[in-house]
Structure 1
């Protein structure tokens, strides 16, 4: 009987769960039957196609999602194509569907695609219903007193906390899905999606020993974190070895509800307050959730930053030999090298080690930040464009509340703080395993006799530093000086032409400092034709709807 009813398409993307899935719940509550679909269309991602580790996770997650849907009597229709719009139209025509239910995404590539797809589907008589599944607040719901988007995390987070937000969790356990049983396009098998090739499978088997993708495992990981590592989070997060929540891949693929995580941490926070707990573990982790929210917020209001030069006129060094050494963990700085080898082997890196390694690439080696973010994207299990962009901005001095551009992290000092006993370095750099703690983070300073006793021969079985620390500092200071001089000359020229950057630009409805504009180069402040569709995303109530997917 249900087959004669309307078919409601549920378009899964990075929301691969049944629990707390607003799009799925809305489709279940709408008249008609439900057809869950997933479309693999990597060509549309451009240079940010998922890397090997990320694709492995996606494959396992889709398998688990299909099993979850099967318990409701539905199966997941997998499709592969070069154009999402064509695939959606194909499915709609085969099923007679006129409604698609999906959840918002906020990275600039997807926002642009979703806007185009939604407009074209309307021309075919197909309406798209969008819901919030990935954030606690939509990016267009939080502004400063002047109705402008926040440009510092502190301002954003303080306003967020003042909303006293307590998200509801829709109860999907009572949802009843009437599956579609009619005509379908030829489905793809999980193997036909080609998320991993034969050459990758043996390496990917190692990932399965450490990670268990899927919504059930996501909830298991959350419970394990709540009863264990969270209780020592303020101190354990300061060490390099497996000391964070490890929930980010589950959040990225939408296997774990951000609302559920927030509610759990808020409950822990209230317990801490009632018990007058001196260590504010939940408070600190809640701030980490806030940073994830802020990454979506910044990405939405300042799209396509990943295509821009974050540091205008900065003299990057296009040294591919140094870049290869950085990727392979052969820089001669043990903490950096250990982190890069862990990243390649496991697809994972502690958040503080991400800061250390990315700072080394930008400030020690002065390699283009776009090289670094792309390599992280290719290797991280939890590669997330919004969070990655925010992280690289933070390190490179392109946020008003981030690291200063001329601040250089000393790998030796960071190693002593994050890995005081050298256990992390010894795990990933076995060639240094016999070095005593005194020299483990700077073998280049150790006496020759110590190196010989430990079996270390610098330049042979472990590299000498590819750049001396003092040389790196000097080069960076000169590069910053050169950048600022060129920016000053250009600023003076603009001022003479009556285009003073300290004032709002023509037709601009927001007033950011010139230095901030030059560093972020947000597309909302440019007249570039390819980005004009986003030009109204900052000021509330005037053009914001142009950005809604």
Structure 2
């Protein structure tokens, strides 16, 4: 007997059949309509790059095949606005409910809040589920109910919390809703995820990767059985299969993070019984990488401004250098530092680089070149196969020192030293820089120091067929020290000006103390009794302040700070507009985008770059997000926190913490 209930399952980045809570809820009672809606205009400046779109296309193809075998093929639609497309589907089948799985990036928070509000106003039931995380961002807080801004503290708290062990089994059969024929749908090919000029490059990706949820399970099994035990030892190697390679599968939701966690923990228990203590470190490090992915979502949800500016408020005074020429040299792998150049060339050619390489090239970008970290973040988003906005934000903020537990501000890692540590034989460099293929191991990571006879024998003509270093390391050190000093000087001057009425002694003390400006957000609130416990919450902007921690210049170098008791005097009395909710309000965000150091330039691309990026402006300003916030604000959302429906780090080792 047919049930009158008709449910739309809205697929996004949860492209799997197994352990998909929204799909499981949809098929419990009545017929279903699985739909994927592609809306490039809503992606704004974070329109996916070529490699990422290729992966999405392959993953959708396998998902459609799986759903079709269950009796209900996937409906794919290309549109200029998601909401009208959903309304068309609702009208076509007479749907009474829409279900989907939660997303946490700024773009999705705005869109999902708007869609849920308007659908509910029309009488459509809307429900969302957690399919992406071990813990929802509003479930974890410190003892004061504040959002964590330190990963280690966050992860320690998470490890003490229970994990939902319920697994949503894949359905045996789907009952397809009637009326689908009137929907303006298109084929996966017609979504436009891949144009003709990209197909030749994308063909190379298929040689090394097999997207799709069933392939994700194969990758997990292979990693756990063959590579997990030696993960701690091998993860520092820049070549070969030394990490799990699960990050793109996780980004597109082709595998559940809970399944990965359970599988690894089961193996850990088995090894403990077999007394394989050497494997314990590998498991702990891998689970820590899972925690980093969780933390990336946590930060983006509770601090939704972090896609465009640093978590630490002090960085508003940092003197970033907007040098588009150096930005181009870095992108093209023409910096003159072999390890950096090899990493950037591999990234462009394959859409993939090892996490350690990501840290190396990112650190060079922000510390040697002093380029804004948002430029590098956006370039990674455009080029990485596993491009994941939240993980991208976390990684770049961490390396730039923009997080309380990030890299030390004065930390300058030598690519030469890193080359000897992580590529001692130079094989990685030689595989991506043919100009240096005949350089001896002794000089492969610093050819500028090689004797002329060695360069001649290797066929290297510095400045001709391989560039000289874009900046000398000693000069880079001086520039970095000057930039950090200037930031603190401007920051202290700003605080003194803010407290213009303070006496001379207090002003002098303020001018001698460096204070980390860390926003504080209260995240632990009681859920509304009228809301579903499954529905996603909106990040709240109430009870927000700046938590200013006093440090001295010696803190930056890892030495013990001088104690001071001026916290109450430097604490901001008004709400920090940086922490306004993405979905709830934009009224406080009035700054001019044209004045922002974080607007990414539109560089002169090479012909290869133009072919890959010509469909969109890959380096747009952040203005699109402000417009979306303004649009969301017009919805008149309730200003009380409510329950509403609304990657990469998985393979990464954590660099050393900020010592202060």
> Into which bin does the TM-score normalised by the smaller protein fall?
over 0.9
Map residues 193-342 of structure 1 onto 2, 5 A cutoff: 193-242=191-240, 243-274=242-273, 275-279=275-279, 280-308=281-309, 311-342=315-346
Q: Does 1:413 align with 2:413?
A: no
Measured in 2, the distance between the counterparts of 1:434 and 1:356 equals: 24
User: In structure 2, how many angstroms separate the alpha carbons of the residues matched to 1:383 and 1:521?
Assistant: 28
Please say if residues 394 and 403 of structure 1, whose CA atoms lie closer than 8 Å, have aligned partners that are also in contact. Answer: yes
CA contact (8 A) 1:339 1:353 kept: yes
Cα displacement (A) at 1:503: 11
> Which residue of the partner structure matches residue 181 of structure 1?
178
Q: Deviations over 1:386-430 (max 9, x none)?
A: 111000110011111110121111101111111111111111111
Give the Cα separation in 1 of the matches to 2:577 and 2:436.
Answer: 43
3-state SS of the aligned residue for 1:363?
helix
Gap change, CA 1:289 and 1:450, over 3 Å in 2: same
Q: CA RMSD in A?
A: 2.5
Partner of 1:490: 494
Contact kept in structure 1, 2:404 and 2:518, CA below 8 Å: no
User: Pairwise mapping of residues 65-80 of structure 1 onto structure 2 (< 5 A)?
Assistant: 65-80=63-78
Tell me by how many angstroms 1:452 deviates: 1.1
What CA deviation, in whole Å up to 9, does each residue of 1:179-220 have, x standing for no partner?
Answer: 123243122011110001100000100000111100111111
**Cα offsets for 1:66-100 (capped at 9, x unmatched):** 01111211100000111111111111111111211
- Rounded to whole Å, the distance in 1 between the matches of 2:324 and 2:643 is 41
Q: Secondary structure at the match of 1:130?
A: strand
Q: State the shift of 1:547 in Å.
A: 7.1
Counterpart position of 1:165: 163
* 2:642 pairs with 1:545: yes
Q: Quickly say closer, same or farther: Cα 1:504–1:371, change in 2 above 3 A.
A: closer
CA distance in 1, matches of 2:152, 2:124: 41
Give the conservation status (yes or no) of the 8 Å contact 2:71–2:174.
Answer: yes
Q: 1:372 aligns with which of 371, 376, 379?
A: 376
CA displacement at 1:483 relative to structure 2? 1.1
Any conservation in 1 of the 2:11–2:35 contact (CA below 8 Å)? yes
Mapped pair 1:5 → 2:66: no
Q: CA deviation at 1:331?
A: 0.4
Give, in angstroms, the shift of residue 172 of structure 1.
2.1
* SS of aligned partner of 1:449: helix
Asked if 2 retains the 8 angstrom alpha-carbon contact of 1:148 and 1:510, the reply is: no
Q: 2:152 aligns with which of 154, 178, 184?
A: 154
Equivalent position of 1:539 in the other structure: none
Residue 594 of structure 2 corresponds to: none
Structure 1: distance between partners of 2:519 and 2:206: 52
Contact 1:533 1:546 in 2 (8 A): no
Partner of 1:538: none
CA contact 2:38–2:191 (8 Å) conserved in 1: yes
Corresponding residue of 1:15:
14
The 3 A distance-change label for structure 1 pair 468 and 546 is farther
| Distance verdict in 2 for CA 1:384–1:497, change over 3 Å | farther
Aligned residues: 538
Aligned-partner Cα distance in 2 for 1:508–1:533: 20
- Indicate yes or no: 2:596 matched with 1:524: no
Tell me if the contact between 1:303 and 1:523 (Cα under 8 Å) persists in the aligned partners.
yes
User: Paired residue for 2:426?
Assistant: 422
1:14-43 Cα offsets, whole Å, 9 max, x none, are 0000000000000000x2201100000111
Gap runs ≥5 in structure 1: 536-541
- Tell me if structure 1 keeps the 8 A contact 2:577–2:589: no
Matched-pair contact (CA < 8 Å) for 1:101–1:129: yes
Q: Which of 1 and 2 has higher RCO (CA within 8 Å, sep 6+)?
A: 2
| Mapped partners of 1:475, 1:368: distance in 2 | 14
Greater per-residue helix proportion: 1
Q: Secondary structure at the match of 2:210?
A: coil
Q: How far off is 1:176 after superposition? A: 3.1
1:543 Cα deviation after fit = 4.9
* TM superposition shift of 1:233: 0.5
Aligned match of 1:390: 394
CA distance in 2, matches of 1:159, 1:292: 15
The answer to whether the 8 Å contact 2:519/2:579 transfers is no
TM-score with structure 1 setting the length: 0.93
Indicate the SS of the match to 2:352: coil
Superposition TM-score, scaled by structure 2 size? 0.78
- CA distance 1:317–1:131, shift in 2 (3 Å): same
